[in-house]
Amino acid sequence: MSASQKVVIAGAGIIGAVAAFVLSRAGAHVTIVEARPGPGEGVSAASFGWINAITFDPEDDPALYGLRRDAFGAWAALEQALGKPLPAHRQGALFWGRSVEETMEARDRHREAGSSYQLIGQAEIAALLPQLASPPEAALFAPEEFALDVSATVRMLLKAAEENGVVLITGAPVTGIDSAGGHVSAVRAGDHRLEADRLIVAAGTESGRILAPFVPDLGVAASPAALVTVTGNFPQTTCITDSPELEFRIPAPGLLMSAHSVPEGSNPEDALARRTVERVKRVLKETGEVAVRSVQVGQRPFPEGGVPLVGPVASLTGAYAAVAHPGVILAPAIGTTLHDLIAGRRAGSGLQPKAF
C-alpha cells in the first residue's frame, strides 16, 4: 500500500480504531475524525465487550456464526501485532437456558456447526461461580471466550496508530464529502477540509447520514443497549455469565457489569438501574448492599437483515462503508477486509464485502 495514499476514517469507535491501526501498519497516511470529544465515547463506551459465539444460534446465520468463531484468532493476531496485552477479562464464559433440555439443544446445535463447548454439571458451575444462589443442573462452558474493555482497547489501538503516523481529530463531525469525477477527493469535518483518496465511514448509526448524498438508504437502524455497572460484595472475579435472568461479569472484586437491552419509557436509565440491582440480588447470594455506579446507554447500529455492511460505495469511487453488529466481535475482520479492498486484494478475512 502506497504511503502517499490518503485515507480518512469517519468514526473513532472500535471499527475505526482497528482500521486505522491496520492501515497505518501497511503504510497508508491515515486521518481519523470523531464527532465526540474523544475516541471510543459512542456506542463503544456502552459495550459489554464480549467476544463470543456461545450465545449465537448457528442456525440463524451460519456465515455470521463462522465469523464469530474466527474472531478469537483474529483478536489474538491483532494483539500480537500490537505487541502488548489487550485490556481483557479472560476467564471463559458460561451459558445456560431455562431448562436442561434447552441447554442441551444449544449444545447440539453448536456441535453440529463445529464447536465443542463443554457441558458441565452443577458442582463445576458452583466452583466457577461460588456466589451463584441457585446453580443450574447444567451449563455450557467456553474457556476461550473473553471480554474487552472496549473504550480502553480503542485508546490503545489509536495510540499505537498515532505512533505509526495516524492523525486523530476529535470534536469534528463530518459535514460533507467532496468528489471529483465520481471519486472521493476530500472530507469536511468540523473546521477541517481533509484531502482524501479513500474514505471509510465507520460512524455507527451516523454512517447513513454521512453517506446519504451517495447512498439514499444505507439500511442501518439504531437499537439502544446499556451497560450497567454496580458495586457490592463480589469478592472474586468470575467468568462471563449469560443466564436467563442476567448477563454479567465481575472483572474486579467489588465490581459487576451487566448488559441490557433498553426498555421503553421516559427514564430508561432509572428502570435499568432498578432492574439490575433486583436481579443481581436474586441471582447472586451474599452481595451486601448493591449500588449503581453507572448506566451507559449506546445506540447500536443494526444493518438491515443483520448482515455486516462492509464494502465500496458504488456511486463514489474510493469510499467504503463499515457498519456492523456485533461490531466489537467483527472489528478485526472488518479492518482486514478494508485493508484488502484498498490494497486491491481479494478479501482474506472470511467477511465478504458488498457494494452499496
How long a stretch of residues is the chain? 356
User: Alpha carbon of 217 to those of 183, 188, 199, 285: distances in Å?
Assistant: 20, 21, 18, 49
- From first to last of its 356 residues, what are the pLDDT tens digits of the chain? 666 789 999 999 999 999 999 999 999 999 999 999 999 999 999 999 999 999 999 999 999 999 999 999 999 999 999 999 999 999 999 999 999 999 999 999 999 999 989 999 999 999 999 999 999 999 999 999 999 999 999 999 999 999 999 999 999 999 999 999 999 999 999 999 999 999 999 999 999 999 999 999 999 999 999 999 999 999 988 899 999 999 999 999 999 999 998 877 667 889 999 999 999 999 999 999 999 999 999 999 999 888 899 999 999 999 999 999 999 999 999 999 999 999 988 876 678 888 88
Alpha helix stretches (DSSP H) within the chain: 14-25, 62-82, 100-112, 122-128, 150-163, 207-211, 268-283, 327-342
The number of beta carbons lying within 10 Å of the beta carbon of residue 312 is 18
The number of beta carbons lying within 10 Å of the beta carbon of residue 143 is 12
Which pLDDT value is given to residue 178?
98
147: enclosing H helix or E strand: strand 146-148
Which grid coordinates belong to 202?
A: 465507520
Q: What's the pTM value of the predicted model, to 2 decimals?
A: 0.96
The number of beta carbons lying within 10 Å of the beta carbon of residue 123 is 8
Decide the pairing of beta strands 138-142 and 50-51.
Answer: unpaired
Which grid coordinates belong to 54?
A: 456461545
Which pLDDT value is given to residue 305?
86
CA 267, 46, 335, 304 torsion-angle sign = negative
Phi, psi of 220 (to 5 degrees): -120, 125
Strand, helix or coil at 283?
helix
Which pLDDT value is given to residue 2?
62
What is the C-alpha to C-alpha distance for residues 330 and 343, in angstroms, rounded to an integer?
Answer: 20
Which pLDDT value is given to residue 1?
60
